[in-house]
Chains A and B, each alone.
Chain A
Amino acid sequence: MVKMADKRPAYSQLVKDIRAGKFVLTGELEPEKVTCLEEILVSARAMKPYVVAANVTDNPLAYAYMNSLVPSWLVQKEVGLETVYQMTVRDRNRLALTSDILAASYLGIKNILAISGDHTVLGDNKGAVSVYDLDSAQFVYMLHKMIDEGVDVAGNEIHGNVDINVGIAANPNADPLMPEVLKVGRKTKIGADFIQTQTMFDIDKTKEFLKEAEKYKCPTLIGVFPLKSYGIADFFDRFIPGVSVPTELLTSMKKAKKEPDKEKRKQLYDEVNLEFFRPFIKEIHKTTSAAGIHVMAVMYERIFEPLLEAL
């Protein structure tokens, strides 16, 4: 049996805030197939007043995008917003993961979200190999060795410190739920500082997961994904593994789509989202043990203010 991580220091503001008992909010930035990061910086600036940190996605849905390390660093440097550097184990073996963690340390990254990543056959380079030299639990173990013991996963000494907090993902939508809960438990025991969940629309499933995972005592941020348009809602419903958008929400979004005036349509979309997510977030805040909300309002930063004013 491996030595489980003792509670490591809070290196990041995100983990400091969590441990101080604040109800934390994180956002999400998604670099795409681009060679310019101006849009990412604009989004980061827009969400900065509302969140303690922003995740930067790593080839989501196995689409080949700009790597997430450079924007993670740039957002911290240019905007002063802490980032959560997302790393999947799909595209890199343990050597490449080690290299990137060392580089992230040098660049002052304070959070890594260690995830499996969607399989390559779901992405835009379907013929690519899915690496999975490590799985996400083994990746957390690797991070534990690097951060807490100063060695790489093979035991070779690292010159310098890796001062990073580790997040893991969880999917409370999983059906059956227990295999997922037990996996989350294993990762928290190895050395996770926080959990960010998959997008949730169902308050009962959210509460059930929080109840089951409570014994692991790992702060959990519940994922919400405000839907900027009907197209996004429909895509989400159809293509994101394990996520289904509630029918009534999809119907309202579809209805809003029919509004021909662009500005009015935007307003309608916002109203639909606020009507659904405001009470959802409020209920999580008031009635559960969740440590915060991970708001995946990608390119939809205008929703932050009205969405979060209820808190």
Chain B
Amino acid sequence: MIITEQKPMEEVQEMIAPYDKLFIVGCGTCSTSCQTGGEDEVKEMTEKLGDRVVGWAMVEDPCDLRLDRRDLKAYKEQIADSDAILVMACGAGVQTVGEYSKKIVLPALNTLFIGETERLGKFHDMCKACGDCILDETGGICPLTRCAKGLLNGPCGGQVKGKCEVGDYENECAWVQIYDRLKEQDRLDLFTVFRPPRDFSKKTLKMHHYF
């Protein structure tokens, strides 16, 4: 899931200051689960912003252009009447709503990561969408994401009792976790595999994917 957090209200107020009439779009999928852009949060935002809000809508998946077309069709006039759309979704959602509406779009949320949900309100950073998954070699633990330096060949000198120098030793050292997991699985040979430099051009060169 795409994990988001709400921007501080002062930041939202500053962002919307130039616009008198706002339309608000919420997200029925990830931001609903994160409790950052679901129906409850959209209503709450509507109340906070009062008369400036000319309308609001929930889109099942604002990052899906087809669903924006489907779910926002009934609000065409209100959207046309607004100065800007405040989108309570991830960055992909904000951009897709912008592409659909051609209106000024404003992000109400900060997009944090692709993550695991442990329970409501407790999420873990798991995936950087690097485009070259090696989880088969690393015991199902992503070093690119969960090691602060994104190292591919073992831990650095900054781990103390399995904790990372980054973040006051609160985060686990991903490479110690990988070591432990591979040891449990009797696959420690994978720990010593040398992974050559990544080919970053693969991702940079291709922004549009057609399957």
- Residue on A nearest B155 in the bound complex, by CB: A179
Contact of A182 among B150, B156, B192, B197 (CB under 8 A): B192
Chain A residues with Cβ below 8 Å from B195 are 138
Chain B residues with Cβ below 8 Å from A137 are 152-154, 194
How many Å from the CB of A67 to the closest CB on chain B?
Answer: 21
Interface-side segment among A35-43, A170-178, A245-253, A283-291: A170-178
Contact of A134 among B159, B167, B197 (CB under 8 A): B197
In the complex, whether A132 has a CB less than 8 A from a CB of chain B is: yes
Count, chain A residues at interface, CB 8 A: 38
- CB-CB contacts of A222-245 with B at 8 A, as 1s and 0s? 000000000000000000011000
Contact of A171 among B151, B157, B197 (CB under 8 A): B157
Contact A132 B165 (CB under 8 A): no
Contact B192 A135 (CB under 8 A): no
Contact A135 B194 (CB under 8 A): no
- Residue on B nearest A130 in the bound complex, by CB: B149
CA of A223 to CA of B155 in the docked complex: distance in angstroms?
A: 19
Chain B residues with Cβ below 8 Å from A118 are 158, 165
In the complex, whether B176 has a CB less than 8 A from a CB of chain A is: yes
Chain B residues with Cβ below 8 Å from A133 are 197, 200
- Residue on A nearest B158 in the bound complex, by CB: A241
Contact A121 B166 (CB under 8 A): yes
Contact A182 B154 (CB under 8 A): yes
Contact B160 A138 (CB under 8 A): no
Chain B residues with Cβ below 8 Å from A122 are 165-166
Interface-side segment among A75-83, A183-191, A259-267, A294-302: A183-191
In the complex, whether A116 has a CB less than 8 A from a CB of chain B is: yes
- Can you list 17 residue pairs at the A/B interface with Cβ under 8 Å? A2-B194, A94-B197, A116-B156, A121-B148, A122-B166, A135-B150, A138-B195, A141-B194, A141-B197, A179-B154, A179-B155, A182-B179, A183-B153, A183-B154, A190-B194, A198-B157, A242-B159
Interface residues of B (CB under 8 A from A): 148-162, 165-167, 175-176, 179, 191-192, 194-197, 200
6 smallest CB-CB distances across A and B, nearest first, come from A183-B154, A137-B153, A171-B157, A241-B165, A135-B151, A241-B158
